[in-house]
Amino acid sequence: MSNVEVQAIENIYKEKGFNLVEKIFEVIFMKARFEVRTIKSSWKPPFKKDITDEVFDVEEGEKFDKITGNGNSETVYELIRLAGNKAVVRYSKLFTLKVPNPGDKQIVLDQDKPTEMTYMWGEDGTTKKITYKGIATA
């Protein structure tokens, strides 16, 4: 693309109130937004439940959320790939999906469709529900 063409495109963006460089930066460094609900259930009376909701905005290759306890301390998720209304996420070997588990511990998340997984080896049982919410906006 020639400098004249780039300048013409930049002028169109300016007329519409956009900065071309900012738009290119947004596309290159897109972040995905995930909501993670963690439910910890005690194994013994009084069988209380603790529920925590967190939001994570992450780039491809970035790890997020942590599980600690029973000698474990590791990241739960890693965003592998982002593709519009789908995201490919790798999850920790400490977790088991509530549906058949893929051998590579990678799942494809559709936007706004939660996926549940459990961790039953700690002091408490833990269920995590991850939902891909789409591209994060500022």
State the pLDDT at residue 136.
Answer: 87
The CA-atom distances, in angstroms, between 52 and each of 38, 49, 113, 128, 132 are 5, 10, 19, 10, 17
d(CA 53, CA 46): 22
pTM of the complete model? 0.77
- How many CA within 13 A on the CB side of residue 58? 23
Backbone angles phi, psi at 115, to 5 degrees: -125, 130
Residue 16 shares a structural domain with residue 50: no
Alpha-carbon distance values, 96 to 7, 54, 126 (Å): 52, 20, 11
Residue 4: domain span: 1-30
Same domain membership, residue 67 and residue 54: yes
Split the chain (138 residues) into runs of 10 and give each run's mean pLDDT: 72 67 61 95 87 96 89 90 92 88 88 93 86 88
Judgement on whether residues 79 and 108 belong to the same structural domain of the protein? yes
Are 10 and 62 members of one domain?
no
Q: How many domains does the chain have?
A: 2
Q: Same domain for 1 and 68?
A: no
